[in-house]
Amino acid sequence: MNRRDFLSSGAAIAAVTIMAPEFAFAAESDQIIKLPEPDKNGGKPLMECLALRRSSHVLGRGDVDMPTLGNLLWAAWGINREDGKHVIPTALNKQQVVVYAVRSDGVWEYMPKEHAVKKVLTGDRRNAFDGAGLVLLYAAPEKDSYSAMHVGSMYQNVGLFCASAGLDNCVKHQKYDALDVDLPLPSGWMTFVTQSVAWPK
């Protein structure tokens, strides 16, 4: 394969993903990035995290690093059992929720089975919300009476992880649907709430 054929093929993207995950975030939409495995053994004790959990209203703009992003998304909607069930409960095990990560380099959909993210929108969309370093969007079926409960479980898990890791975070309803028109949401789905996350200034 010559250089031109290589660069026009998926092999080039795959090579960048394997060799330099951070650089791969510059790619166009539909790229899939495998996240670092979550650290399931570290962190503060649960009672200490509960004591430290709080909302921060002044958040930094720096991007959250890849290992931390992987931990955050796994805390929200990761798979923690071999039978495919998640870290949060869902009514009737429907598992009808999705979380998006809004970064400086695009909007990424979390893929829990692969523990990976897929770019679904390009460009820095954080100013559609509060401009924080990372904004998580929690989406679910609009008319499902359990959706709000599922989303609440997700952002509470992330809040506890933030308390453990020393991250600032804030759950917000303002501008929650700012990207719904652009996101590849299934029919009848909507973003219910957002959660801004950043390292302390």
Give the pLDDT of the chain (201 residues) as one tens digit per residue.
Answer: 444 443 444 443 343 343 334 434 444 678 999 999 999 998 999 999 999 999 998 899 999 999 999 999 999 999 999 898 999 989 888 889 999 999 999 999 999 999 999 999 999 999 999 999 999 999 999 999 999 999 999 999 999 999 999 999 999 999 999 999 999 999 999 999 999 999 998
**Does 14 map to a domain?**
no
What does the pLDDT read at residue 28? 63
Per the structure block, which two tokens stand in for 61? 């703009």
- If you search the block for the tokens 């080039």, which residue do you land on? 12
What does the pLDDT read at residue 201? 83
**Does 21 map to a domain?**
no
State the CATH number of the domain containing residue 147: 3.40.109.10
**Does 12 map to a domain?**
no
Total domains present in the chain: 1
**Does 128 map to a domain?**
yes
What does the pLDDT read at residue 15? 37
What does the pLDDT read at residue 25? 43
Complete DSSP assignment for 71-111: HHHHHHH-B-STTS-BSS--GGG----EEEEEETTEEEEEE
**Does 20 map to a domain?**
no
**Does 15 map to a domain?**
no
Q: CA of 14: how far to CAs of 4, 154, 180, in Å?
A: 16, 31, 29
Sheet holding 106-111, edge to edge: 32-34, 116-121, 106-111, 98-103, 134-141, 189-198, 168-172
Residue 65 CB contacts under 8 Å (≥ 6 apart), including other chains: none
**Does 50 map to a domain?**
yes
- pTM (whole model) above 0.95: no
What does the pLDDT read at residue 18? 37
**Residue numbers of the domain that contains 164:** 29-198
**Does 138 map to a domain?**
yes
For residue 96, which amino acid is it?
Q
